[in-house]
Amino acid sequence: MSEAQGHGRGADGSAKPSKRDALIEAAFELFTAHGFEQTTVDDIVRLAGVGRSSFFRHFPSKEDVVFPDHEGCLAEMTIFLQEGSGTEDPVIRVCDAARLVMRMYAGNPSFAVQRYRLTKSVPGLRHHELSVVWRYERTLADYLRRRFAHRPDGTLRADVIAASVVAAHNNALRTWLRSAGQEDPSAHMDHALRFVQNSWGPEGEARSADEEDTDDVVVLITKRKAPMWRVVRGIEATLDDR
């Protein structure tokens, strides 16, 4: 469907926003000018030029108009996880699912930054945002529980990895938002999620603290009767060359 078909055309031939988009635009204009708490639903519908029933047809509450894109993104994430073959690494799969959320934010940087600043200043919105984040985490955990159902610690493993992915995503998102959306969001996301993937091996195996990479093994060939000081010096020289 083209933009003209989806939104119609104004008198000047320009694309006419949908009622939903008009409500979002009006809400943020009023929130910026007067504050979130001081703005009422009636104020929003009056500025948007739509009826009160139209508002509640699109948004259950005033808080929901601040997060208009999360329902669609959550549905997209759910489908993405369901469409997995079941043979892919589950940790990589949930990390890729988290990238869908970052892509949603990055698709409209100015709106994302505006929402970030508004949410920081309104405690009630921060609480609402936490409930949204919890739904993402639950979706990731549900997928991982199915993948780890054969393990005695499957539920614990799923919950811990899901929480780690969400924490990494939020860290990357906040870093990008603090740059006012000017930096590369994918670079921050890749860095944060790499930390999660490096913390868990294939199939969600946690890396042991005493696990060593082959790069950390040093082999020194020396004569049996060589003095210890020479052996030590040989090891030090080998390490210095790495």
- Structural domain total, the chain: 2
- 3-state secondary structure at position 9: strand
pTM of the model: 0.76
- 3-state secondary structure at position 15: strand
- pLDDT at residue 106 in the model: 95
Range of 47's domain?
Answer: 14-64
- pLDDT at residue 4 in the model: 34
Distance CA 221, CA 143 (A): 50
| pLDDT at position 10 over 60 | no
Give residue 184's region: left, alpha or beta (phi > 0; psi -120 to 50). beta
In a shared domain, residues 24 and 85: no
In a shared domain, residues 159 and 141: yes
Contact 141, 209 (CB under 8 A): no
- pLDDT at residue 231 in the model: 59
Is residue 126 included in any domain, yes or no? yes
What are the tens digits of pLDDT across the range 193-211? 999 999 987 767 777 545 5
Is residue 59 included in any domain, yes or no? yes
